[in-house]
Amino acid sequence: MEYPSWEEIRKSMWAETLDFPMIDEQTPAFMGRRVISEKKDLEDADVVIIGSPYVSSSTDEWAGIGKEHWLAAPQRVRQQSIRYQSGYIQDFGFDVFDYLNVVDYGDADIPPEANVGKLDPELILQAQAAVEEKVNDAIDVGALPVVIGQNSPCASYAIAKCVANHTDGNMGIVSLDTHWDIFRLCPQTRDPRIAGGFSWLYKTIEFHENIHARNLVEIGPRGMLENPDVVRELIGRGAMFFSSWDVRRQGIEAVCKGIDHAYNGTKSVYAHFDMDVLGGAGPAPGDILGELAEPIGLSDYECIRIAHELGLRGVQGFSFICIPPGSAVMYRVIVYIVMYLLAGKAIAEHTVKR
């Protein structure tokens, strides 16, 4: 898997001649925005970018691909974001940064030992807490946390938990994923406290009284992957489900309308984008995802469009996991998802003319 160095990336773009804030010598701030290191400096932020470099594997690989490629996602998304000269989106005719103050809060302080060796529940909980700390800082000042990560619970349940705990009322969830992640118990640890990669969604609903299946919109699972009893249980409890097959048959407009299900009777919404949902339908081949790849994936446009619709409606937390590793264009897809989400937010909150 060949991914260029930061030096090669910078020399290949107009960015070679410019200065922009750096988190470290290899990692520019997302879209060249201001880097924040302390909560007290978040007061004027509208959107807070947070990295979550965590992979839940006890070996050197995850899903058949070297862990180093998964762990590098927050850095590589930021590196690819620098190719864009501004927040001006041609599709909408305005600069997002004219309306929203977007800052980069760096990476969560995940213990290094959480990413090596045995999957220790105590280390997993420490890693989760590190993400929660930064997410809570953002929510406390009224900003939208956007977490760029790779595995659960650090880039899924951690954000859902923070949003739920800050919500006086019910919280909805919009989840894009190839897999429902609804094992009743994390199979990797067998620890009931862990909302892991196979179980985070089920555990989120279990752990929080203000999160209900009736306000879940699940988009993207397909085929023969799931335990039918649990899928039927959640649909029976009111979850709205669009398989990738449904997305193709009904069209993206029907899916966007169905997102309203997460907003009915709720005071907040958390959006979870597990990017293995792309399968082979995005700009890179499905095999780049290793064991996670499945046919009938969503397209990059469908993911970006759903994010924009969520921005128009409003979300209180947003995060990514399973970002396809090693492909520059796939990291650019993440940048687009964030920026088109924020374009929707700007339109809704500032009545921007399109």
Q: Over the stretch 62-115, which tens digit does the pLDDT of each residue have?
A: 888 999 999 999 999 999 999 998 999 999 999 999 999 999 999 999 999 999
Percent of the chain scored above 70 by pLDDT?
99
**Tokens found for residue 90:** 């041609």
Q: Mean pLDDT throughout 226-245?
A: 97
Q: Mean pLDDT throughout 161-188?
A: 97
Q: Which pLDDT score is estimated for 354?
A: 61
Q: What is the mean pLDDT of the chain?
A: 95
For residue 248, CA distances in Å to 113, 219, 261 come to 43, 12, 19
Report phi then psi at 260, rounded to 5: -55, -25
Q: Which residues pair with 66 in a beta bridge?
A: 61
* 64 class by beta-carbon count within 10 Å (0-12 exposed, 13-18 middle, 19+ buried): exposed
Nearest to 220 by CA among 258, 163, 268, 164: 258
Phi-psi region of 21 (alpha: psi -120 to 50; beta: other; left: phi over 0): beta
Radius of gyration of the chain (CA): 19
Q: Mean pLDDT throughout 37-60?
A: 96
Q: Mean pLDDT throughout 263-285?
A: 94
Confidence of residue 22 (pLDDT cuts 50, 70, 90): very high
**Tokens found for residue 346:** 């700007």
Task: State the Cα–Cα distance between residues 131 and 162, nearest whole angstrom.
Answer: 10
Task: State the Cα–Cα distance between residues 247 and 250, nearest whole angstrom.
Answer: 5
DSSP 214-268: EEEEEEE--TT-S-HHHHHHHHHTT-EEEEHHHHHHH-HHHHHHHGGGGTTT-SE
Confidence of residue 353 (pLDDT cuts 50, 70, 90): low
Q: Mean pLDDT throughout 150-159?
A: 97
Q: Mean pLDDT throughout 296-319?
A: 98
Phi-psi region of 284 (alpha: psi -120 to 50; beta: other; left: phi over 0): beta
Q: Which pLDDT score is estimated for 1?
A: 55
Does 309 have pLDDT greater than 80? yes
Task: Mark out the alpha helices in 120-238 (DSSP H runs).
Answer: 121-140, 157-165, 200-207, 228-236
Task: State the Cα–Cα distance between residues 321 and 327, nearest whole angstrom.
Answer: 15
Q: Which pLDDT score is estimated for 351?
A: 79
Whether residue 145 is preceded by a cis peptide bond, meaning omega within 30 degrees of 0, is no
- Residue 150's CB is within 10 A of a number of other CB atoms, namely 28
Model pTM above 0.85: yes
CB 304 within 8 A of CB 337: yes
Residue partners of 141: CB distance under 8 A and separation at least 6:
39, 42, 43, 45
Q: What domains sit in the chain, N to C, each tagged with a CATH number?
A: 6-350 (3.40.800.10)
